[in-house]
Structure 1
Amino acid sequence: MMTDKRELLILGGGLVGMTLALAAAKKGISSHVVDRADPSELTAEGFDGRASAISTASWNLFRNIGLADALEPHGCRIENIAVTDGMKPGRIDFQPEPHEGTLGRMFPNRTLRLALFEAAKDQPLIAWHGSTNVMERHRGEHGVSVTLADDTVLEAKLMVGAEGRGSPTREEAGFTMAHWDYRHRAIIIGLCHERPHEGVAWEIFYPDGPFALLPLLDDGEGRHRSALVWTVAEKDAAGFLALSDRAFLYEIEKRMEGIFGALALAGHRSSYPLGFQHTAKLVKHRLALIGDAAHGMHPIAGQGLNLGLRDVGALVEVLTEGQRLGLDRGDAQMLARYEKWRALDSLMVMGATDSLTRLFGVPGKLSSVIRRVGMAGIQRAPILKRWFMDEARGMSGQLPELLKG
């Protein structure tokens, strides 16, 4: 039986868990990262067709921890977000001022994973434990530990639950969750299209759910590409997934009304159920939750990963400050500060997202008219528009240092 003691024990090596390990290492904080999967599986070509919108604040974080150079060539800049009610007249355009740069960048998840693993590989402060299961978790008076499937014991001062929505660490610690199921499913696929997207992300709202087109860089053969995230009712999902490629493409074309010209499918369709979940508390004795383990939200505003990256920035800042004051990594008051900082911000973002989902999901002609009147109001109200854009760029609220420019 072997033990190896570090400061953080990060359970879950996905995008948020790995970013935490790297951000902590930049501040001289060592960690163990444990994941059931192997990096080669997580970065395999077909593993995850999803793409993520990285907000301005999250991009600052990547730049501050030294990932920007590796990522820059692969990111597609989001120059504008067009919001429309079923392609009817009266769309809103969110376009930043020239001096503000972009609204964010779109990256394939695989690209983000590769950059994170590549950076972590040469970082002595990060010990990676992949393809393994946690058999036992222990949080004691002076530290924490886990026993892995091969009887290895890993020890640290603070445990961090970062395994995503179904977090076993959170479940075992008995956190209470508020959650509801939207009874909707997101279908994800890449599209190649005839006309360039010009950096525009489209959010088209239909009564059966939002239809989002997210700009990606042209592929190696110069074809214009976007990622489609299409929300459908759970009862209709199996039918849409079973359609032939040709019939599926026809359904997409019908909803896009020719904005990008001729279309072709790129890659395979994948899908996942949508729900809302949020823990009122984010910390317990020597334990902190980050990312989807703490809050899982609707992908409508593309803010799920960005919310997790704000958790990372806040936790690292609180830990660094604690270090300066000579506090233990698991100090209860320090963790309470992290919880207070993040709980309100994440609930605000999630509440706004949830309201948007419900507002645009109300069927009928009258509700469509009301929505379009509201959208026209936002289009003409610079203060409201500015608020929405700051939210999209992740530049609102009390920002952790690592997420500032």
Structure 2
Amino acid sequence: MLYYIYIGNSQTAIDHLSKVTNGMFVTVSGARKAAKIIDGIRERYNTSILYEQTDTEKDCLDITCLHKRFPRVYIILITEGLPAEARKAYLQAGVNNTLPPQADETSIHRMTQFLQVRQKHKMQEFSQSHRKMLNTFHLPAWKRAFDILFAICALIILSPLLIGTAIAIRLESKGKVIYKSQRVGSNYRIFNFLKFRSMYTNADKKLKELNALNQYKMEEETADDTPDIRFDDLTGSSDEEANLLISDDFIIPEKDFFRQKAQSKESPFVKIENDPRVTRIGRFIRKYSIDELPQLFNVLKGDMSIVGNRPLPLYEAELLTSDAYIDRFMAPSGLTGLWQVEKRGGAGKMSAEERKQLDIKYAQEFCFRLDMKILLKTFTAFVQKENV
């Protein structure tokens, strides 16, 4: 999903651009409030700032600050036209592109296509650059043989459940049965991570706030910093609209990205309780981990192992690139793992540091005996009353 943060006060431009852009459109009055919004968006390569031109000197100061703080964000200057000397100043400040206030849908579409290509390129760049930092991990032959045998047997035995779940999902709500998201696994390799879809397909458009319901959130935002968020196609009851709706694939209430890197105690993980976007079937399959079963195909393909460290979304992985945590990627990425069975109860609550340390422990100590122990614990842990 694409995110557009419009900085400015031109109601005409706001009304027009909110209609022709395809994604979440947020309007704020200044750069400081825009930074608050971007702090809550994990997919920075999917985020664009639409900066309304006013005063060149002030604009360039604001844009320079935003560009330095969020180098992955694409900055677009909304302007009717610029003299040559102003173009250079805006370019040096960090502007990537310009659009007129009444930009047509064709121009927006071309820009959207570029942003999608840019995101894919940047993700691959991240993966390749960090893989060079590692001595490439190779999955042991015994583990790969076990993975294939286990996955084939599980798919045969569970085929009625898989088929029944797929039919139930399709009957309850429109959309694809299988949900794909890009995750980072062993050696920082990016792959398509499979799950049964457990949410309504249009639920992400209901997002109203950015920093609530997260079990790992460190502090609350002040009310004065609440932005003006526009949802032209918002649907649902007032109760639904009052809830924060966070997808496990593209929104996370992370603090400033660079501050996160410097402070290892900040959490890159997210866990949402009672997410109102989840369908009735979705709640059931999440409770009993049925939504994870399509990952058996990831196992067969070689993307994952049956037991290992959970593959992470890109920007969660990006927060774990220091020497202290890089070892977690020198291990299989798995369907189940050590931290899942150590403290799965208690509503799934576990500190981020505990999770990271258990991942590192598994990477350093994994063996056939430990894998069997984790599997046995998994079978007794996933059937429980807590919605984890």
**TM-score between the two structures when normalised by the length of structure 2:** 0.24
Structure showing the higher helix proportion among its residues: 2
Structure showing the higher strand proportion among its residues: 1
